[in-house]
Structure 1
Amino acid sequence: MSPPTAFVCGVTGTQGGMVAAQLRANNIPVHALARDTSSPGAVAAQALGVDLWQGDFDNLSAIEAAMRGCTLLFLNFRPDFTDTSADLRWARNLIAAAKAAGVKHAVFSSGLSVNAPEKLNAWNPDSLLAKFMLSKQAIERETREAGFEHWTVIRPGNFFSNYINPLVFMFPGLVDKGVTATAAKKDTVLPCIDPITIGKFVTAAFLDPAKFHGHNVEIADEPKTFDEILGGLSAATGRDLKAVYLSDQEIEAQVAASPFVQGQLASRNLIDFVDMDKVKSWGVPLSSFDAFLEREKDRVAETYRVSS
C-alpha cells in the first residue's frame, strides 16, 4: 500500500508552509502548486521535499496533475481583495479534483467565529470583512458536504506572524514610526496562535483521521492583549513599540473603507469563540509568543530594523 500523499494549498505562504514542513517532518509526501516555481518561497518548499507544479487554483489541468496520487487535501486561501468570490471558486476547483483523484481526508483552515460571525462585535453583513467570513463559511460547508471519507475544519485565531513581514503592513506605522493605531480596546484579549501550531494540528488530523473526523476544531496558543504583543516585540527588537487606541469617532470615520479596522473591531470579542481547555484536550503540543519570537528572531529583526 502506497503511503498517504497530501496536496497542500499555499506552500509558499504562512499556513501552507508550516503544514508542509510538519507533514514532511513526518515523512508524508507533499504536492503543491506555485505560480512561480523559482520564487524564494517555492525554492524553500522544494528544499523540504515538496513536489511542485506550476499553476494556480484557476488552472484546472495543473490542479489535476498535482492532485494525482494524493489521498489528503489541505485547503487554505489568502483573501483576494479584488475578487471576494475567488476563494470559494478555488475551493470548489480543488475539491472536485480531489474527489476525482481519490482523496480520503480534507482539512480546511478557516477561522475563529466563521461558524457564527454575526456574534462578532460590530458585525456588518455588508462589510468587506463579512464577505470574506461568509465565503469561509461556505467553504466549510463545501468541505463537510463533499463526501470525503473524513473531513476536519480547523479554526485558528490571530496569527503571531501578522506582526512581521510580509503581513505587518496591516498595522500602518508600526515598523517605520513605532506606533500604530487600532480599533481594538486596551483590554481586548486576542486568541493568538503561532502558525506552527496550525501545522501540528493539521498533521495530527491526517495521522489520526478517525479522531478528528467530523470536528470543527477551534485553536489558539495564548491569549494576549495588543499591548502585551507589542511589549514582546519591543523586548525582542530593542525598540519602543506602542499602540494608539482609536476613539469611537475615529473608528466611525475609517471603518467603512478599511477591512483592517473592521477586523480589529471584530477582534474585541474573538476570544469568546475558543475554549483553551478544549484546545489542550486534543493533545497537540502548543506554542507561545516567546517560542515564536525565538524561532523567527531573524525575521523579527529584519522586519523592525530601522534604516540609518
Structure 2
Amino acid sequence: MTNGKQPIFVFGATGRQGGSVAKALLKVGWPVRALVLNSTDAASLELEITGVELVQGAFEDTDVIRAAMKDTYGVFSVLPANLAAEDEVRYGISIADLAAEIGVDHLVYSSGASVGDELTGVARFDAKPRIEAHVRELRITTTIVRPMIFMEMLVRPGFGLDEGRLVSLIRPDHSIQLTAVEDIGKFVAAVFADKTRFGGMTLKIASDRVTGHELEAALTEGAGRPIAYARFSDDVLAANADLAHMAKSLEDGPLAECVDLNAMREINPELLTFRSWLAGNGRRALDEALRTTNTLA
C-alpha cells in the first residue's frame, strides 16, 4: 500500500520520464519532491502548481540531495540522455549511494532495455549496466526498470514523416516493442506501491509490440495521408554506430527480447497501444513531425 505521508524524491521531473513519474505518483496520492536546476523556470513552476515540492540543485550538489532525501519513502533515479558516459555513471552511483546512506525504503532506477548480460566496451552503451551493477550491491531495496524504445522516438522531426515516410530501425516484417513515456510513470507508481512484490526485480517494460508494416498503417491512419515505412539503409547504419548498435540489438540482442504485454497490463491496466498513443498525447508530436522539413535527407 502507498505510504501517504512520506514523499517520493524524483529526479528528472522537468523531463519526460521524471515528469511522467511525478504526475502518476501525485495521481495516486504520493507527495512528490523533485530536484530541479532552476526553481523559477517555466517547467519547474508548472510542477510546483501541481503540488510538487521543489528542491533547487544540480547532480553535483550532494549535500542538497542528501538533505532532500531525508524523510522520503522512495527515490526515483533517471539521468538525462545527453550526459557524457562517465558523468552518467558518476551521478547514477552517487544518487544510489546517498539513498542507501539515508536509509530510503525503496530506490527505483530507470535504466535502458538495451542493457544486456555483457558489456560492449563502448562507454555510452555501458554506463547503465555499470550503474545497475552498483545498485544491486547496495544494502537497500531496489527495483530497476528498463523501458523499451519510446514511442516518442518514432515521431520526431527529421525522420521523413513530412515527406510521407518513416525511416527507422527494424525490417518491415519484424517487430519492435515500444513504451509510451506516460506509461512509465504508471509502472513506477505501481512499483512504489508494492515493495514486497517488486523489490529486487529488474523489470523490462513495454506498452505495445508492432511490426514495420503496422507502424506504416497506424501512422497513415493518424496522419490522414499515406506514410510508407522503410528501414535505415545499410550505408546509414554503417556510418552511425549508435543506430547500428540499436538495429542489431533489435534483431538478436536485448531489444529483441519479448516483454509479456499481458503481464504489463496487469501492472498497468491503462497500457497504451501505439495507435491509442497517437490519438492522445502523441498527436501533437505527430503533427509537428508532419510539418517539419527532413534534416536527414
Q: TM-score, normalised by structure 2?
A: 0.85
Counterpart secondary structure, 2:54 = strand
Q: CA separation in 2, counterparts of 1:88 and 1:111?
A: 13
Alignment partner of 1:268 is 2:246:
no
1:12–1:70 distance in 2 versus 1, CA, 3 Å: same
From the superposition, tell whether residues 38 and 251 of structure 1 become closer, same or farther in structure 2 (CA, over 3 Å).
same
For residues 203-248 of structure 1, the C-alpha deviation after alignment (integer angstroms, 9 at most, x for no partner) is 1111110011111112212111234234323322334333333343
Q: Conserved in 2, the CA contact under 8 Å of 1:112 and 1:274? A: no
What number of residue pairs does the alignment pair up? 289
d(CA) in 2 for partners of 1:197, 1:297: 13
- Structure 1 residues 2 and 216 mapped into 2: Cα distance closer, same or farther (>3 Å)? closer
Which residue pairs with 2:281 in the alignment? 296
Aligned to 2:49: 47
- Paired residue type of 1:213: G
Give % identity.
26
Comparing 271-280 with 16-25, which one deviates more in the overlay? 271-280
Q: Quote how far apart the aligned CAs of 1:302 are.
A: 4.5
Letter of the structure 1 residue corresponding to residue 221 of structure 2? A
Q: Pick closer, same or farther for the CA change 1:2–1:229 going to 2, 3 Å.
A: closer
Within 5 Å, give how 1:176-215 maps onto structure 2: 176-215=162-201
What is the rounded CA distance, in whole Å, between the counterparts of 1:180 and 1:2 in structure 2?
45
8 Å CA contact 1:34–1:54 kept in 2: the answer is yes
The answer on whether the counterparts of 1:72 and 1:206 sit within 8 Å (CA) in structure 2 is: yes
Provide closer, same or farther for how the CA distance between residues 114 and 250 of structure 1 changes in structure 2, counting only shifts above 3 A. Answer: closer
* Aligned ranges 1:73-88 → 2 under 5 Å: 73-80=75-82, 83-88=84-89
**Separation in 1, partners of 2:187, 2:4:** 23
Give the 3 Å change call, closer, same or farther, for CA 249–307 of structure 1 in structure 2.
closer
Q: How does 1:19-58 map to 2 (within 5 A)?
A: 19-58=21-60
Structural RMSD (CA): 2.7
* Aligned with 1:153 (options 137, 144, 151): 144
Gaps (5+ residues) in structure 1?
119-124
Residue in structure 1 matched with residue 291 of structure 2 by the alignment: 306
Q: Does 1:228 align with 2:214?
A: yes
Moved over 4 A (4+): none
* C-alpha distance in 2 between matches for 1:290 and 1:180: 15
The answer for the alignment partner of 2:134 in structure 1 is: 142
TM-score between both structures, scaled by the size of structure 1: 0.82
Unpaired runs of 5+ residues, structure 2, are: none
Whole-Å separation in 1 of the counterparts to 2:12 and 2:112: 16
Task: Report the 3-state secondary structure (helix = DSSP H, G, I; strand = E; otherwise coil) of the residue aligned with 1:85.
Answer: helix
Distance 1:268 1:117, change over 3 A: farther
Equivalent pair of 1:73/1:98 in contact (CA under 8 Å)? yes
CA gap 1:174/1:51 in 2 versus in 1, 3 angstroms: farther
2: CA distance between counterparts of 1:21 and 1:250? 38
- Cα distance in structure 1, aligned partners of 2:205 and 2:21: 15
Alpha-carbon distance in structure 2 between the residues aligned to 1:11 and 1:236:
29
Alpha-carbon spacing, 1:296–1:260, altered in 2? closer, same or farther (3 Å): same
Q: 1:244 to 1:92 in 2, by over 3 A?
A: same
Tell whether the 8 Å contact from 1:180 to 1:243 is kept in structure 2 after alignment: yes
Kindly indicate whether the alpha-carbon contact (under 8 Å) linking 2:237 and 2:243 is maintained by their aligned counterparts in 1. no
